Amino acid sequence: ICRIDVNHRQKDMDKKVVIIPTYNEKENIEAIIRKVFSLEGGYHILIIDDGSPDGTASIVKGLQAEFPEQLFMIERSGKLGLGTAYLTGFRWSLEHGYDYTFEMDADFSHNPDDLPRLYEACKECGGVAIGSRYCDGISVVNWPMGRIIMSYFASKYVRGVLGMDIHDCTAGFKCYSRQALDAIDFDDVRMKGYG
């Protein structure tokens, strides 16, 4: 029993931040934020909003009053791309001393309930864990069938061409340890968009 308590305290000591890039997510943003904060484990959230004209940032600002120590936002002017949003978030995470950094979409295409499993997998491997939609068939929600089929076969193609043992090459649900992020030279990343 003592050992379990120590492990539980150790988990709570790890600083974890979930990066959620947004553009026109007013329909989902409050629900995804509240869902992540309802989970055990002390997750923080960093929203990176690319000037959403639908008022996404205003909703987040309202929630920051309720969650001042857990919810953070970087507002950028215009659509600067998903890749640059994550690079911005990774730098912010390192500057603020987080041990584990997650990528997640705002549209519930990733199940927030899987964050603890992704965290445990990353902690076990010590580097990067990928939350695949395709390990056990296809497990995607909130997507039209055409998008699911395109994503599935694109991932299969990339996996085959590059010889990677990764089932979901286009996954946007990942967890990075601090050591993994420290090893990346962000200034050397050339791809700034989705790729």
Percent of the chain scored above 70 by pLDDT?
70
Distance (Å, whole) CA 140 – CA 133: 6
pLDDT beyond 50 at 114 = yes
**How open is the CA angle 102-115-159, to the nearest 5 degrees?**
65
pLDDT beyond 50 at 37 = yes
**Strand 174-177 to 128-130 pairing:** antiparallel
| pLDDT score for 193 | 55
pLDDT beyond 70 at 195 = no
pLDDT beyond 60 at 79 = yes
| pLDDT score for 65 | 96
Mean pLDDT score of the chain, rounded to an integer? 82
Longest dimension (CA), the chain: 52
| pLDDT score for 22 | 96
- The residues, ordered by sequence, that sit 6+ positions from 82 with a Cβ below 8 Å of its Cβ are 21, 193, 194
**What does the pLDDT look like over 130-140, one tens digit per residue?**
886 555 555 55
pLDDT beyond 50 at 62 = yes
